[in-house]
Amino acid sequence: MLWNPDWENGILGALKPLLLVHNTDLDDGRILELFAEFEAELEKGDYIKYREVLKTVVDKFGEQFGFEPTFKELNSIADSIQH
């Protein structure tokens, strides 16, 4: 999936600091790959609001790398969209 660079920067701007706080240092390409994988998986199922998709994507990063995101972290991507 190809995204617009602003979208990619938004995703990375939200996820990179979150991952680093949890001792997970991934390169930008890997973060975007995992984001796309998790997002596509969630969008295959029943309809859920995109804000919930984004929260669940963050949760899946936590599952993948062994941490439990806080409420604020779960909302980090969705909240970053307004900026």
DSSP helix/strand/coil, 22: coil
Query: What is the average pLDDT value for the chain, to the nearest integer?
Result: 91
Domain extents in the chain: 5-80
pLDDT given for residue 48 in this prediction: 93
pLDDT given for residue 36 in this prediction: 95
pTM of the model: 0.88
pLDDT given for residue 1 in this prediction: 47
Residues of the chain under the 70 pLDDT cut: 1-5, 82-83
Q: What is the CATH number of domain 5-80?
A: 1.10.150.750
Q: How far apart are CA 72 and CA 41, in angstroms?
A: 23
Q: Is there a contact between 60 and 36 (Cβ–Cβ < 8 Å)?
A: no
